[in-house]
Structure formats: structure tokens, C-alpha cells
């Protein structure tokens, strides 16, 4: 199963693709989509949508996972991040890809073992869990962490369903 992890952001959206075969995970690709702050918001959102649509059509993921938004003290920044996240969800939904959503603390706990892990720890564990991965940047590492979290949650759900049936 090919899973796409997404770390939404208006300035930089990270994406990462993994193959999940049971508990075995392997890295397929990762990248970052950047928009210029000087551009008008609608144009930035359109560029983000088009770039994500290209990633989805190129790699044909079976599922996607998106990190949830954390609010901060700057309402304008939170609103813009929410709009970028909406575009990310729209791109996956428009392509017919099923979407999981995870709070950042759940992602950190799934990958590092603690919900309060720092970015450096997440990046290090992504490198450990996906040997040989060459990260295009921190947002791509976060996106791969979201994909790994989704793979773990899907594997757990399948195991539970097998137990219920038996």
C-alpha cells in the first residue's frame, strides 16, 4: 500500500510517500512545495493545489494522512495555515484518496514514543525507520512521520478487525 503523508503550510507544505507492507515500511519519495510570501493568497493556494495534484497523480497513493493544525497566538497565521490545510485536504479528496488526520502529538508519539518530541528527534527517527532516506527538508520529514503514523494506525486497525472476526 502506498501512503502519502502531508504536513500543510502556506509557505512550505511537506509531502512524503511510503510503501507499507504489514509492519514493513519503505521510503518512496519526499518533497516540499513552496509558495512565495509576496504572492496574493489565492494564487499561493492555487499553486499549492496544483502541485499537490501533480504529486498525487504521479504517485497514485492508496491513502493519505494530514497533520492537524495547532493554533498559535497569531490569529492571521493560524487562519492562513487552516486555509492551506483545507487545500491539502481538497487535493486528496478530489483525487478520491481516503484521508486520515492526526494531531501532531499523536504523530510524535507514534514515531518517537513521546508526544512532546522535538523536530530533531522526529527527523532522526524517520531516518531510522526509513533507512537510506534523503530528506528534502524538515517539512518533508514531518510529512513522512505523518505517513508512518497512518501506516501504524492502519496496521493496528486491520489486526483488530482480524481478532474481532476470529
Binding residues are 7, 67, 139
CA dihedral sign of residues 92, 94, 100, 103 = positive
Cell representation of residue 51: 502541485
Annotated binding site for Mg(2+): 7, 67, 139
Report whether 26 contacts 130 (CB < 8 A): yes
Of 69, 76, 81, give the one whose Cα is nearest residue 10: 81
Query: Known catalytic residue: 67?
Result: yes
- The verdict on whether 54 is a catalytic residue reads no
Q: Please say whether the beta carbons of 3 and 62 come within 8 A.
A: yes
Of 106, 145, 123, give the one whose Cα is nearest residue 15.
145
The catalytic residue among 36, 62, 67, 166 is 67
Annotated catalytic sites, by residue? 7, 67, 139
Amino acid at each position: 500500500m502506498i501512503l502519502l503523508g502531508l504536513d500543510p503550510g502556506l509557505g512550505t507544505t511537506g509531502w512524503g510517500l511510503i510503501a507499507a507492507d504489514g509492519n514493513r515500511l519503505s521510503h518512496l519519495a519526499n518533497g516540499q512545495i513552496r509558495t512565495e510570501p509576496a504572492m496574493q493568497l489565492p494564487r499561493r493556494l492555487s499553486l499549492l493545489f496544483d502541485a499537490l495534484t501533480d504529486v498525487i497523480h504521479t504517485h497514485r497513493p492508496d491513502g493519505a494522512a494530514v497533520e492537524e493544525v495547532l493554533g498559535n497566538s497569531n490569529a492571521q497565521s493560524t487562519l492562513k495555515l487552516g486555509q492551506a490545510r483545507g487545500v491539502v485536504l481538497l487535493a486528496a479528496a478530489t483525487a478520491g484518496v481516503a484521508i486520515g488526520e492526526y494531531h501532531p502529538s499523536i504523530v510524535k508519539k507514534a514515531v518517537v514514543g513521546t508526544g512532546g518530541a522535538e523536530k530533531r528527534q522526529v527527523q532522526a527517527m524517520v531516518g531510522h525507520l526509513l533507512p537510506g532516506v534523503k530528506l528534502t527538508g524538515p517539512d518533508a520529514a514531518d510529512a513522512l512521520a505523518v505517513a508512518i503514523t497512518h501506516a501504524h494506525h492502519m496496521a493496528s486497525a486491520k489486526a483488530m478487525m482480524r481478532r474481532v472476526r476470529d
